[in-house]
């Protein structure tokens, strides 16, 4: 044995393995980026061994964020520290049909930036400077050469490959169908991506995600939305054969085509297709829908042998907006018309136009048009405004004082103040019992943070900590939602195993992605967002979470990425901490480290 048998030892922590086994006090030995030993007894140390005392702390695998849009940020700030400091050690990009893997800089910026509310000029100039990859394989090689903070895996984005093969204009024309040769080329690209280790394919069927930029194609829906379901099925056949994942965004406004996703997943007389869509939520606009979709997936998974998963957040789904710059306004025509205009003067002129206002008001109040946004201005709060008398009040309250229709008041204020009017609302998951039922549902994958996107609108980076807090608080009041080991499993091993990633489990020989946290700090501090300058984005200010000091230590591939609660700079590290995650055959559980994941009573009754 060498003089230093372990590079790092974590002692006396309450250890969770990420497989659902009951926690035990254990000692971990880390060597060469891997877990070398997990012991009941103290481990030997050499003169070069670093020791972390985890007495009174929880030690668990690094969390996995299965749904991010870090595709642009990873190029400018590859540390992705806003996720890492909350214990996230692996992230997935290429979500919602969007990817930077193939395409021209202009096409990719046009697809990505308006949808995900990311500064357009920064992203386009970044791609024009840095894009030196042309193929799906070269893109992963490029990512692996960045000084990554977390590990990064990817989906193949359908919008990206469709526009790449057909050309941007043709891919956005519903009168144009891809030729047999173009379909074959897209199939070949998907196979190439799967061979390279991509987790699967992501598609988009929701038409209120729009093209940005300044070309004539601005405000058309994304390329993926123009595909027929028969086009999607050409890809799902390949995914089914390979056992890979079909990630999609259904039309959450009408909700009808979710049945097509469910049916595609069915495994009767064929291999089930791993299918995941967004999202199971207790929506203010559609109370009770989480029960309905939960029953639906139970039926398909149990009776029809599907392999279907909803993505869900274990926290309140709230939104911040600067004026009208919020994606939910893309849901109806009048809102999309305002967001189409980039010039502030032109937008103000439109918002003040009487005919436009009448159309906006009619669509906003319509009981016939389906909706996701609750459109209740009683449920709003002005946070900042040039007029301080507005701050702390709802638009409905301001309208009552003025004796006006609330829609007129809103449009007046947005026209006058534009993005200087910052306001807040809650979309979903505001009822604790409903949220508890969602996170314990067996057909849910915990995630959908959208980290790296909607930078001024959302702040879900610390969702794993909120999940642990939710479960812990229920346990403390004597109304348990699930055992804590099950909560950890939901955030780690369950996601990794379903996606096919080498992550999410702590066992000898597995990668040493480790989080050490103080459970006593899983408190109200998790709900405090703040504005922070985004590294590399020309001074752009985004909304980020705090973690209340809960996360003390994070290891990624055995390297110390967070120490005493603060991210460790990767200066001098050519490759950073993380690696590209490629789907491959994973080590199987053995007799010494079996999977122990009993079904909790809440799940059994779901």
Q: Are residues 241 and 290 in the same domain?
A: yes
In a domain, 601, yes or no: no
CA–CA separation, 560 and 516 (whole Å):
11
**Stretch 291-305: mean pLDDT:** 97
In a domain, 50, yes or no: no
Q: Is the pLDDT of residue 535 over 70?
A: yes
In our burial notation (b when 16+ CB lie closer than 10 A, e otherwise), range 455-474 reads bbbbbbbbbbbbbbbbbbeb
User: How many domains in the chain?
Assistant: 2
SS (H, E, C) 466-515: HHHHHHHHHHHCCCCCCCHHHHHHHHCHHHHHHHCCCCCCCCCCCECCEE
Percent of the chain whose predicted confidence (pLDDT) is above 90 = 86
Provide the 3-class DSSP secondary structure of residue 174: coil
Q: Are residues 467 and 555 in the same domain?
A: yes
Q: Are residues 255 and 113 in the same domain?
A: yes
pLDDT the model gives residue 598: 39
In a domain, 582, yes or no: no
* 498: number of Cβ within 10 Å: 17
For every residue of 416-484, DSSP letters joined together read HHGGG-EEEEEEE--SHHHHHHHHT-TTEEE----BTSSTTT---TTHHHHHHHHHHHHHHTT--SS-H
Q: Running DSSP on this structure, what letter comes out for residue 368?
A: S
Using CA of residue 300, residue 301, residue 305, residue 307, what is the dihedral sign?
Answer: positive
**Stretch 399-422: mean pLDDT:** 97
Q: Are 440 and 494 in contact (CB under 8 A)?
A: no
pLDDT the model gives residue 593: 37
Q: Are residues 223 and 304 in the same domain?
A: yes
* 378: number of Cβ within 10 Å: 13
Q: Are residues 414 and 486 in the same domain?
A: no
**Stretch 505-511: mean pLDDT:** 97
In a domain, 51, yes or no: no
Q: Is the pLDDT of residue 116 over 90?
A: no
Q: Are residues 309 and 192 in the same domain?
A: yes
Distance between terminal CA atoms of the chain?
A: 51
Q: Are residues 520 and 383 in the same domain?
A: no
Q: Are residues 153 and 98 in the same domain?
A: yes
Which of 422, 457, 487 marks a domain boundary? Answer: 422
Q: Are residues 97 and 159 in the same domain?
A: yes
Which of 380, 398, 422 marks a domain boundary? Answer: 422
In a domain, 241, yes or no: yes
| Per-residue pLDDT tens digits for 415-463 | 999 999 999 999 999 999 999 999 999 999 999 999 999 999 999 999 9
In a domain, 357, yes or no: yes
Q: Running DSSP on this structure, what letter comes out for residue 586?
A: P
**CATH classification of the domain holding 475:** 3.20.20.140
Whole domain around residue 184: which residue ranges?
61-316+429-524+545-567
CA–CA separation, 548 and 287 (whole Å):
32
Give me the phi and psi of 37, to 5 degrees please.
-160, 145
Q: Are residues 106 and 223 in the same domain?
A: yes
487 vs 537, more confident: 487
Q: Are residues 208 and 269 in the same domain?
A: yes
The two three-digit tokens of residue 65, written as one number = 């964020």
Q: Are residues 294 and 242 in the same domain?
A: yes
């Amino acid at each position: 044995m060498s003089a230093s048998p372990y590079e790092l030892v974590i002692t006396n922590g309450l250890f969770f393995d990420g497989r659902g086994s009951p926690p035990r006090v254990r000692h971990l030995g880390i060597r060469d980026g891997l877990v070398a030993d997990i012991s009941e007894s103290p481990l030997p140390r050499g003169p070069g061994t670093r020791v972390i005392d985890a007495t009174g702390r929880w030690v668990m695998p690094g969390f996995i964020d299965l749904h991010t849009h870090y595709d642009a940020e990873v190029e400018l700030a590859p540390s992705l520290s806003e996720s890492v400091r909350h214990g996230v050690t692996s992230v997935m990009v290429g979500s919602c049909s969007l990817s930077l893997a193939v395409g021209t800089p202009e096409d990719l910026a046009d697809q990505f930036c308006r949808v995900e509310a990311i500064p357009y000029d920064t992203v386009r100039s970044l791609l024009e400077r840095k894009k030196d990859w042309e193929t799906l394989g070269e893109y992963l090689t490029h990512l692996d050469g960045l000084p990554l903070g977390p590990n990064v895996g990817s989906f193949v984005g359908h919008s990206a490959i469709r526009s790449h093969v057909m050309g941007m204009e043709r891919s956005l024309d519903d009168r144009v169908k891809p030729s047999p040769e173009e379909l074959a080329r897209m199939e070949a690209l998907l196979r190439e991506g799967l061979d390279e280790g991509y987790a699967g394919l992501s598609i988009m069927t929701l038409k209120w995600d729009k093209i940005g930029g300044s070309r004539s194609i601005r405000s058309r829906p994304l390329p993926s939305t123009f595909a027929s379901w028969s086009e999607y099925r050409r890809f799902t056949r390949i995914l089914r054969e390979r056992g890979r994942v079909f990630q999609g965004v259904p039309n959450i406004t009408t909700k009808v085509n979710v049945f097509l996703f469910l049916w595609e997943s069915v495994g009767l007389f064929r291999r089930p297709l791993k299918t995941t869509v967004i999202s199971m939520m207790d929506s203010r606009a559609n109370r009770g829908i989480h029960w309905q979709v939960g029953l639906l997936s139970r039926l398909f998974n149990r009776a029809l042998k599907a392999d279907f998963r909803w993505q869900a957040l274990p926290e309140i789904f709230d939104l911040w907006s600067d004026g009208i710059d919020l994606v939910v306004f893309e849901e109806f025509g009048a809102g999309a018309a305002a967001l189409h205009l980039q010039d502030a003067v032109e937008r103000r002129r439109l918002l003040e136009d009487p005919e436009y206002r009448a159309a906006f008001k009619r669509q906003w109040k319509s009981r016939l048009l389906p909706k996701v946004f609750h459109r209740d201005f009683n449920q709003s709060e002005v946070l900042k405004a040039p007029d301080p008398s507005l701050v702390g009040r709802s638009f409905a309250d301001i309208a009552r004082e003025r004796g006006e229709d609330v829609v007129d008041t809103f449009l007046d204020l947005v026209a006058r103040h534009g993005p200087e009017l910052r306001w807040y609302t809650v979309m979903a998951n505001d009822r604790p019992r409903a949220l508890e039922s969602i996170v314990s549902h067996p057909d849910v994958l915990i995630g959908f943070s959208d980290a790296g996107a909607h930078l001024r609108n959302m702040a879900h980076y610390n969702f794993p900590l909120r999940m642990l807090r939710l479960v812990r608080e229920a346990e403390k009041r004597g109304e348990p939602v699930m055992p804590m080991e099950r909560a950890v499993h939901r955030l780690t091993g369950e996601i990794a195993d379903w996606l096919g990633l080498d992550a999410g489990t702590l066992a000898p020989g597995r990668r040493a992605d480790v989080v050490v946290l103080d459970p006593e700090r899983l408190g109200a501090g998790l709900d405090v967002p703040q504005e922070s300058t985004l590294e590399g984005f020309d001074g752009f200010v985004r909304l980020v979470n705090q973690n209340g000091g809960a996360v003390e230590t994070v290891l990624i591939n055995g390297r110390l990425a967070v120490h005493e609660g603060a991210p460790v700079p990767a200066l001098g590290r050519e490759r950073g901490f993380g690696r590209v995650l490629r789907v491959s055959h994973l080590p199987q559980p053995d007799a010494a480290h079996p999977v122990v994941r009993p079904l909790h009573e809440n799940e059994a009754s779901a």
